[in-house]
């Protein structure tokens, strides 16, 4: 049983920056790199295996297809999860994602809906996100659009490092400037843009908005998730539970010295978001650096984490 270490795929974005390089040591292609897809089998940005040697160079999609035993008895297609680190140097557009049924119907049979969640790794003083809206009904939402008043419908809230947000499909949201997050989500790349601050791209064009789709998929009224937590503290040396939905469970680990934990029968995705340390599995020790991302294959059983580090881990629920 060996952990599968992955190399990320990068996405350049008009709101991206250089923190993925300067803060996380990732080998980004530009100073407008918004996202590192650290665990991804999505065709729009595949992660590739760095180690062990027998799988090196394979995309995660090919690994999932060719080595199913690493992923246990449930083998949904496509690979269900996607993990990203995002550096929002500027505001992201305000957006909403569809659920599975809507995505399949309108975006193609292979595309999943997108339920996501965010662990805030870092946030500048005064940084905010958009999470939810103030319209009770889709008609009221339409009134905001028609009156040119759309920017007032969004609910803005201040955030700081350590906050966790559950963002189910249908939740209007945007990550604001000065925020770095670890995102765990369904493996989907379908975004409906509701509002983009009238920004223009390098060619001087406004980015497309998807108002009709947004009206179709947004939940009215907005509902906060019970999993969202601000100012939480976590017990060290445990697999602290952040959330569970029908798609995935998410955990935070804060290692302070060595601790052993027994993993349930599943496979796990993990990313180091702070510090460094090591992982020992099957008597073999693997060093872990900041931003390292790996999969613990199905049936890893007892593993030991050591060091001074924080990790976000997730496992699929189907
Ligand atoms: Zn999103």
The span from the first CA to the last CA of the chain, in angstroms, equals 22
Distance between Cα 304 and ligand 1 center (Å): 33
Q: How far is ligand 1, taken at its centre, from the CA of residue 118, in Å?
A: 9
CA–CA dist 188, 103 (Å, integer): 9
Q: What's the CA-to-centroid distance between 289 and ligand 1, angstroms? A: 27
Reply yes or no on whether the pLDDT at 146 is more than 90: no
- Retrieve residue 55's tokens: 């799988």
Tally of CB atoms within 10 A around 14? 16
- Specify the residue for token string 């590192």: 36
Q: State the average pLDDT over residues 203-227.
A: 93
Which pLDDT tens digit goes with each residue over 166-194? 999 999 999 999 999 999 999 999 999 99
79-126 pLDDT tens trace: 999 999 999 999 999 999 999 999 999 998 888 999 999 999 999 999
From ligand 1's centre to the CA of 246, what distance in Å?
A: 18
State in Å: Cα 110 to ligand 1 middle.
Answer: 19
3-state secondary structure of 213: helix
Does the structure show a pLDDT above 90 at 200?
no
User: 204 CA distance to ligand 1 centroid (A)?
Assistant: 24
**What percent of the chain stands above pLDDT 70?**
100
Q: Does the pLDDT at position 203 exceed 90?
A: no
Between 19 and 207, the more confident residue is 19
For residue 170, the CA-to-ligand 1 centroid distance in Å is: 10
Annotated catalytic residue: which of 193, 200, 207, 285? Answer: 193
Q: How far is the CA of 301 from the centre of ligand 1 (A)?
A: 33
Cβ contacts of 188 within 8 Å, gap of 6 or more: 42, 82, 97, 103, 111, 112, 113, 114
Residue 18: count other Cβ atoms within 10 Å of its Cβ.
14
Q: How far is CA 242 from CA 11, 160, 172, 250, in A?
A: 27, 17, 21, 5
**Spatial distance between the Cα atoms of 71 and 91, rounded to a whole number of angstroms:** 36
User: Cis link prior to 125 (omega < 30° from 0)?
Assistant: no
pLDDT for 202 beyond 90: no
Integer Cα distance of 303 and 312 in angstroms: 15
Summarised one tens digit per residue, pLDDT across range 252-298 is 999 999 999 999 999 999 999 999 999 999 999 999 999 999 999 99
Distance from Cα 82 to the centre of ligand 1, integer Å: 12
Which tokens sit at 206? 């406004």
* Per-residue tokens: 217: 């998929």
pLDDT at 14 over 90: no
Residue 193 a catalytic site member: yes
Would you place residue 155 in the very low, low, confident or very high pLDDT band (cuts 50, 70, 90)?
very high
Distance (angstroms) between ligand 1 centre and the Cα of 92 equals 9
Please, are residues 124 and 91 in contact by the beta-carbon 8 Å criterion? no
pLDDT at 187: 96
What are the backbone angles phi and psi of residue 212, rounded to the nearest 5°?
-65, -45
CA–CA distance, 240 with 98 (Å, rounded to integer): 29
DSSP 6-58: EEPEEEEEEEEESHHHHTT----SSTTEEEEEEE---TTS--EEEESGGGTT-
**What DSSP assignment string belongs to 229-258?**
BSS----TTSEEEEEE-SSEEEEEEEEES-
């Amino acid at each position: 049983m060996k952990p599968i270490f992955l190399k990320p795929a990068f996405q350049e974005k008009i709101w991206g920056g250089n923190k993925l390089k300067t803060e996380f040591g990732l080998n980004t292609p530009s100073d407008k790199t918004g996202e590192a897809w650290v665990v991804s089998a999505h065709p729009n940005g595949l992660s590739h295996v760095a180690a062990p040697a027998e799988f090196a160079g394979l995309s995660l999609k090919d690994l999932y297809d060719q080595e199913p035993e690493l992923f246990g008895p449930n083998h949904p297609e496509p690979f269900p999860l996607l993990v990203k680190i995002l550096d929002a140097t500027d505001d992201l557009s305000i957006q909403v994602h569809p659920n599975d049924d809507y995505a399949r119907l309108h975006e193609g049979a292979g595309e999943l809906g997108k339920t996501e969640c965010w662990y805030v790794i870092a946030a500048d003083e005064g940084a905010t996100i958009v999470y939810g809206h103030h319209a009770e009904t889709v008609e009221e939402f339409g009134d905001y659009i028609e009156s040119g008043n759309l920017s007032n419908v969004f609910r803005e809230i201040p955030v700081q490092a350590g906050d966790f947000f559950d963002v189910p499909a249908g939740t209007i949201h945007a990550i604001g400037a000065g925020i770095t997050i670890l995102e765990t989500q369904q493996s989907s790349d379908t975004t409906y843009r509701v509002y983009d601050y009238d920004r223009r791209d390098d060619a001087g064009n406004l980015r497309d908005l998807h108002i009709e789709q947004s009206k179709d998929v947004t939940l009215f009224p907005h509902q906060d998730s019970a999993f969202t937590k601000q100012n939480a503290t976590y017990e060290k040396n445990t697999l602290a539970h952040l959330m569970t939905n029908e798609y995935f469970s998410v955990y935070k680990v804060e290692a302070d010295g060595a601790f052993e934990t027994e993993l349930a029968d599943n496979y796990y995705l993990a990313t180091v978001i702070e510090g460094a340390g090591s992982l020992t599995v099957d008597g073999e020790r693997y060093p872990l650096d900041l931003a390292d991302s790996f999969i613990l294959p199905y049936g890893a059983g007892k593993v030991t984490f050591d060091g001074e580090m924080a990790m976000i881990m997730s496992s699929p629920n189907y």
